[in-house]
Amino acid sequence: MSVVLPGELIQAQHKNLKLGPGLQQYVDLQGRTSTVVTRAGTLEQNAKGNKSWVEGNSRRYVPAAQEPVVGIVAARQGEGWRVDIGSAHQASLDGLAFEGASRRNRPNLKVNSLVYARVSLAHKDMEPELECFDAQTRKAEGFGELKGGFLVRCSLKMSRNLLDPNYFLLPLLGSRFPLDAAVGMNGRVWLSTKEVKHTIATARCIEAADPDGGGMDQIAVKKFISTLD
Q: Which is nearer to other proteins, 119 or 132 (CB)?
A: 119
* Least Å from the CB of residue 122 to other proteins: 12
Q: Which is nearer to other proteins, 171 or 213 (CB)?
A: 213
- Residue among 139 and 223 whose Cβ is closer to other proteins: 223
The answer to whether the CB of 73 falls within 8 A of the CB of 83 is yes
Integer CA distances (angstroms), 79 to 75, 90, 137, 197, in order: 11, 16, 24, 39
22 vs 107, which CB is nearer to other proteins?
Answer: 22
What gap in Å lies between CA 51 and CA 66, rounded to an integer? 19
Least distance (Å) from other proteins to the CB of residue 156? 8
Residue 7 backbone phi and psi in degrees, to 5: 100, -10
Give me the residues paired with residue 67 across strands.
none
Report the alpha-carbon distance of residue 129 to residue 68 in Å, rounded.
12
Nearer to other proteins, 68 or 86 (CB): 86
Q: How far is the CB of 223 from other proteins (least distance, A)?
A: 6
Q: From the CB of 24, what's the least distance to other proteins, in Å?
A: 7
DSSP 126: S
Q: From CA 184, how far away is CA 191, in angstroms rounded? A: 11
User: Min. distance of Cβ 145 from other proteins in angstroms?
Assistant: 25
Helix, coil or strand: residue 23: strand
For binding to other proteins (CB under 8 A), which residues are involved? 3, 5-9, 22, 24, 26, 28-29, 34, 36, 38-42, 56-60, 62, 87-89, 124-125, 157, 197, 200-201, 204, 208, 211-217, 220, 223-224, 227-229
